[in-house]
Amino acid sequence: MTKKILWFDDDPAQVKPYLETLNEEGYFAEVVSNITEAESLLNNSRYDLFILDVMIPTKNSGEENRFSPEKTERGRKLGLYFFLKYKEKLQGNNTQTLVLTQRLDLNIRDEFIKAGLQPDQFCTKFALRDVEVFLRKVNDLIQGRDHRVGHSNQQIFDLGMQNQLVIEPTKMHDGKPVIRYFVSYSHKDQKLKDELLGHLKERLDIAKEYYFELWDDGEILAGERWHERIKAAVARCQFGLLLVSPAFLNSTYIENQELPAFVASNLAAPEPEKRAIPVALKRIPLDNSINLKGLENLQIFRDSAGKAFQERSTSKTREDFAAELFQQILKIVKRYGEHPHLTESKHYGGAGRNDDQGLIRPKT
């Protein structure tokens, strides 16, 4: 019997290639883009797999009455509330569920799991961008080969993160692994960047387990080829600190010369080579209304109140923002770090040598 798949996504054009692949593989797969149609099909038909997007907008007042914008945070959690409403029906029909998200949000992921979703049923679209990987995921879910016993929730969820991009120090300083970081930002944000990095660097400079290196663009001397210096610094760094703002997203240079090393701009783009830590320097909408240049696939750091750095108006709250970012960086380095045994003499001829550092890009 032909297996049936219903895909609920408000952007049918994006999922079309995957839908065609499913049908070519012998599945009967269809896509709906609004709540009313999805509810009608689920209430009147049985499916073997239901694929649900996390962020779904309402299309009319009737849908808003059933899923209020206030409750769903204007669509950001509509997929969650839709799942809660139809969870029992899906389970009663023995319908597997796969939840996909464009932008990684650990809080929403945890709410789905609390609601009964298995951790391996929540993935980013980026993680499943390869059609073969996506098809294997679908096959495993329908045939009951997923829900991997013996794997921790975090190990399974790493499908949706840049888990291949390790942070691997290549030298030591005073007995600590050196972590070089490349700061990508728009010079229109110079003042904010200086303030944030001032607070952050104070903390990174006294980190107990790591030695963090940053090279300000003031180190680039007159007559030096700054573009070559940038490319070399990207190649040397362990991660990119991306200070995201409207000006950052509007920079052609950043988009073409810096981001590709850290972020895949679309599902067909090559995988990035370096780990990215995007930080909300200024407030940007996360409702699919602007082109985030691939950053929609990654969790963008905001503070515990969900604010961007610029939105913090006092010295104390901005210092608190930097303190939270510092802790986040430490967690990322520990989680994704590979620290092979390094000897200073073997690699760089002694402690204290500090000639290869992260780079802050000069004005373009």
Rg (CA), the chain: 23
pLDDT at 151: 36
The domain defined by 4-160 carries CATH number 1.25.40.10: no
C-alpha 235: how far from chain center: 21
pLDDT at 267: 55
Give the Cα separation of 151 and 43 in Å (integer). Answer: 34
Task: Output the CA torsion sign for 80, 82, 87, 90.
Answer: negative
Give the Cα separation of 310 and 307 in Å (integer). Answer: 8
Quick count: other Cβ atoms within 10 Å of Cβ 102?
19
Same fold for the pair 4-160 and 172-347: yes
- Beta-strand relationship, 122-124 and 96-101: parallel
pLDDT at 165: 67
pLDDT at 358: 39
Tokens of residue 73, six digits = 């945070």
Q: Which string of b and e fits 184-217 if b means at least 16 CB within 10 Å? A: bbbebbeebbebbbebbeebbeeeeebbbbbbeb
The domain defined by 172-347 carries CATH number 3.40.50.10140: yes
Give the Cα separation of 95 and 38 in Å (integer). Answer: 14
SS (H, E, C) 173-184: ECCEEEEEEEEE
pLDDT at 22: 93
Quick count: other Cβ atoms within 10 Å of Cβ 154?
11
- Cβ contacts of 81 within 8 Å, gap of 6 or more: 67, 71, 72
Distances (CA, A) of 5 to 131, 150, 239: 16, 28, 39
pTM (two decimals) = 0.56
pLDDT along the chain (364 residues), means of 10: 93 88 93 94 96 89 87 84 95 94 79 91 83 88 60 37 62 90 94 96 96 76 83 87 97 92 70 88 90 88 95 96 96 76 36 38 43
- Residue spans of the domains in the chain: they are 4-160, 172-347
Query: CA torsion 262→264→270→273, rounded to 10°?
Result: 20
Cα–Cα nearest to 129, from 296, 291, 309, 247: 296
